[in-house]
Amino acid sequence: MGSVIDGEDVVQDTFAKALVALNELREATPLRAWLFRIAHNRALDLMRTRSIREAAPIEAAYEIADEITPDPMEALMRREAVETAISKFVDLPIMQRSVVVLKDVLDQSLEEIAAMLDLSVNAVKAHLARGRARLKAINAEPLTRPASRPSAEVARYVALFNGHDWDGLRAMLADDVRLVQSTHPMRIGAANVGMFFGIYSQQPPARLAPAWLEGREVVAVYEHAGAVKPSYLMWLEWRDGRISFIRDYKYVRYVLDEAELTIAPIEAPLGDRAAD
């Protein structure tokens, strides 16, 4: 998916679908390949609905070194893929992205990849060669830095939360706002989602900070006073200046493990800014 946020959505959907289909699974079916096929198909569905481009047509298969006795160039290309930031994979066409991640990151064989993706081994080789070449070009491009200041909406959300102004936060909710937390049913509607802030009001105070994850504006959550590293994050969507969607990652903290999170500079508290 090129994003830990979107990837988490696919993981959740994959296990939900797998649980429903578990009774239909034949005993001889390899579980890893079966789960990956579900995840891959779900990822494709999401990317297509978001109008992300389809894979470019493949050309004749390139020669890929024997994985049993790889040459130094093969090893270099694999290491480059492993060290590539997750967000950069989104610039690869879908099938190239799938093949490169499966081969160079997850260490699947060409034959296993072909079986998972319903491709010939030669087609896998072609996608792999083209994907590696594209990744090399992507990694050579200069880094783009996120905005230096958070949006006004996120800054206000953070200030109200840190000031424990729960009524002010509830006033920011759209009437049809949705809240997603991985271990709870979805909450829908301002009244129902407003209870979310009531839960936080009864817990030890958390501190928020505006941040960017893979170029996407998010909110970092620090659970403990004096913490230098955020515990998890929230992601908000807005419509006409009001919150239309909240994704709270409190119960899926591993999302931050390999994420490229950039924290916004610390600003004055809400009271001080109000005085300005």
Distance CA 78, CA 269 (A): 47
Question: pLDDT (tens digit, 9 = 90+) per residue, 182-191?
Answer: 777 889 999 9
- 136 and 257, same structural domain? no
Cα torsion for 184, 185, 187, 188, to the nearest 10°? 160
Question: pLDDT (tens digit, 9 = 90+) per residue, 159-183?
Answer: 999 999 999 999 999 999 999 887 7
This prediction has a pTM of: 0.59
- Domain-located, residue 146: no
For residue 208, what are the domain limits?
152-275
- 54 and 165, same structural domain? no
- 123 and 202, same structural domain? no
- Domain-located, residue 229: yes
- Domain-located, residue 217: yes
- 167 and 123, same structural domain? no
* Helix, strand, coil share (%) of the chain residues, nearest 5: 50, 15, 35
The total domain count for the chain is 2
- 269 and 176, same structural domain? yes
Give the end of a domain, one of 70, 105, 140.
140
CATH code: domain of residue 256: 3.10.450.50
- Domain-located, residue 145: no
CA-based nearest residue to 92, from 106, 108, 81: 81
Give the end of a domain, one of 93, 114, 140.
140
Q: Which residues contact 102 (CB under 8 A, 6 or more apart)?
A: 108, 112, 113, 116, 117
Single-letter amino acid code for the residue at 243: I
Q: Which residues of the chain have pLDDT under 70?
A: 2, 48-90, 142-148, 258, 266-276
Q: Which residues contact 127 (CB under 8 A, 6 or more apart)?
A: 55, 58, 95, 96, 98, 99, 100, 119
Largest CA distance in the chain: 69
